Amino acid sequence: MRVLVVGQGAREHAIAWKLRQSPLVKEVYAAPGNAGIAAIADCVNIGVADIIELADFAEKLKMDLTIVGPELPLTLGIVDEFQKRDLAIFGPTRLAAELEGSKAFSKEFMRKYAIPTADARVCSSIDEAKAALKEFGYPSVLKVDGLASGKGVVIVGSKREAEEYLRLVFEEKKFGNAANRILVEEFLTGEEVSFMALTDGTKFVSLAPAKDYKKAFDGETGPNTGGMGAHSPAVVLNGETAAEIVKTIIMPTIQGMAAEGRPYTGCLYAGVMLTAKGPKVLEYNCRFGDPETQVQMLRLEDDLADVCLKVARGNLGDTKLNWLKEAAACVVIAVDGYPNDFPKGQEVVIDPIDDPAVTVFHAGTIPRGGRMVNVAGRVASVCARAATLSEALAKAYEAAPKVRFEGARYRTDIGYRALEQRKN
């Protein structure tokens, strides 16, 4: 097989790394890729939003499969374009990807199909949002309707915080057209987990649950990010609750999307809050997670290319996935300032790591002038696998300082609260 991976982050590096282990795969391409992916695949300089150019490239080189990493090309209709050309591609169509592309759509969808979620109001102005906030009180959650790279969600604890955020959204247009509408949502308490399933529109198979850490700083403080770390197993999720998520969230979502005339294929990702009243959906994503994919690929025993091709062809059948009993952990190395303003073009050096249980997946790196530099706020994911989660975390943290650049920082508490809760 000849496979194209669309994207340039650590998620795509992990996917390409796993594809390289498949006996079915002879060639791996990435568009545009990064400095780490370039060591294991042929990178082509095509942006993720250039869907016509990507389809032309895949058609010209006769790609047997394309796997789309980020959400943007999915919401732009890359799957529709590839399917028009009879090119096998893993991911949802533009209409199906609206589950992530519009939080207003997904909230109304969940209400219609009785999928448990937080109560919310869709607001198109500051005045509407203020009225909704009076109804919900504080704390409340404010979410921009469109795509914001994981940074469009904020918890407001006071009227002053809410009004400042609303000003940024509606007056300063911080998120552009993605925030023409926002959701004012009920604040839920509990533990958050990432639950994903691969589906061909009818059949599905669950991925190993993972837990990611979205806040920028230790203690789950600071602004939301694209993700600062993850681990699998999720620890906070037991088998009974996982079965409840499948029954009340995953199955109704797949069936509901089919009933809406938007059959969903690819990776369905539900961000779920485990509340005292049961699991509730915080948000949908229409692709593999990042950094969850990094730890899931370390644990997946099966052939990723084979299962993704089955999904793309609509013949997943009764496929089962097998997972290593070992745990995997990921620590994201970011640039100081991320997710707000941060410097780019800094030289990145990754010192040799002797431990074969440790893998570094590149995120925002590119080669430039004989050096490697950063072009994004998240620079690398340092990942490790071990018999226990505590051992995997220890290995990842031991290797984290090997990724060196000015202003490098990372959270020091990934996984530890989950381990404490398990003890109790």
DSSP string of 114-151, one letter each residue:
T--B--EEEESSHHHHHHHHHHH-SSEEEEESS--TT-
Which structure tokens are listed for 377? 């706020």
| pLDDT at res. 398 | 98
Report percent pLDDT > 70 for the chain.
Answer: 99
| pLDDT at res. 177 | 77
pLDDT band at 125, cuts 50/70/90? very high
**How far apart (Å, rounded) are the C-alpha atoms in residues 236 and 234?**
6
- Residue 269: left (phi > 0), alpha (psi -120 to 50), or beta? beta
Query: What sign does the dihedral 203-7-65-259 (CA atoms) show?
Result: positive
The answer to whether 88 and 312 are in contact (CB under 8 A) is yes
pLDDT in tens, 155-188: 999 999 999 999 988 888 888 877 788 999 999 9
| pLDDT at res. 32 | 98
pLDDT in tens, 245-284: 999 999 999 999 999 999 999 999 999 999 999 999 999 9
Number of C-beta neighbours around residue 421 at 10 A: 11
The answer to whether 379 and 348 are in contact (CB under 8 A) is yes
Q: Which domains does the chain have, with CATH numbers?
A: 2-93 (3.40.50.20), 119-186 (3.30.1490.20), 190-313 (3.30.470.20), 327-423 (3.90.600.10)
Report, as an integer, the average pLDDT of 142-149.
84
Tell me the pTM: 0.94
| pLDDT at res. 39 | 96
Report, as an integer, the average pLDDT of 354-383.
96
| pLDDT of residue 424 exceeding 60 | no
pLDDT band at 320, cuts 50/70/90? very high
| pLDDT at res. 171 | 87
| pLDDT of residue 139 exceeding 90 | yes
**How far apart (Å, rounded) are the C-alpha atoms in residues 220 and 178?**
25
Helices marked H in 269-415: 292-299, 304-313, 389-399
| pLDDT at res. 315 | 96
Higher pLDDT, 150 or 40: 40
Which residue reads 């939301």 in tokens?
A: 224
pLDDT in tens, 65-97: 999 999 999 999 999 999 999 999 999 999 999
Query: What sign does the dihedral 11-354-21-329 (CA atoms) show?
Result: negative
CA 218 vs. chain centroid, Å, equals 20
Number of C-beta neighbours around residue 243 at 10 A: 11
